[in-house]
Amino acid sequence: LILTITTLIITTACTDQGYPDDDHFQAWRIGAAISYEFPSGVLQAYGVNEEEDWTSMMLPYGNLVLEPRLTIENYRRYTYSDYDGNVLPLTGALNFTPNQLGKGKKSLPDQLYVYWRNNSTDYTTVVDVTPKIKAAMVKEYTYQIGSFEGQSCYQTDFIFGLLPDGRAKLWLKGCDYYTYID
């Protein structure tokens, strides 16, 4: 009986709104990981939810298109001392992740659209946010160290690694770590 009740509580913790009823569950965001040697810029990024009939835009990304945001020395300081500038750095100090316009939505999108530029070439990346991705985003974790130790947290940031050949990689970020999606 206790197991059944516990299972029901855990199952219903994620309400019909599509996200946990937890104050620590933050509105999702779309960010970018950009290498030093291959600076790219996000021209536009947004998420769409078909069932709830909304589109949520991210704040403008600003001057990421033509020049890298930091010097190679800063990249090395925030990643590792022999960083060569070619790989995608996964660190909050370098990856830009703006908030959604307005108050931000906690209910998860069905698709993500990222319009970006590298070397004067424009690219479009579209991602279907599958039930598996959504399940990973609503999974509760607990901070293990730092000022938030013991507090619940979630991976609600989509981080796109923008590659010079027009491909993009996707990670979920939150709780002080990254989970590679595809």
Asked if the model's pLDDT at residue 2 lies above 80, the reply is no
CA distances for 148 relative to 30, 108, 182, angstroms: 23, 24, 29
Asked if the model's pLDDT at residue 73 lies above 90, the reply is no
Asked if the model's pLDDT at residue 171 lies above 60, the reply is yes
**DSSP-assigned letters across all residues of 85-106:** S-SPP--TTT-B-PPBSTT---
User: Is the pTM for the entire model greater than 0.95?
Assistant: no
Assign 17 a pLDDT band (cuts: 50, 70, 90). Answer: low
Cβ neighbours, 10 Å, residue 105:
18
Render pLDDT for 127-166 as a digit per residue (tens, 0 to 9): 999 999 999 999 999 887 777 888 899 999 999 999 989 9
- 136: Cβ–Cβ under 8 A, 6 or more apart, which residues? 155, 172, 179, 181
Q: What percentage of the chain carries pLDDT values higher than 70?
A: 85
What residue spans define the domains of the chain?
A: 22-180
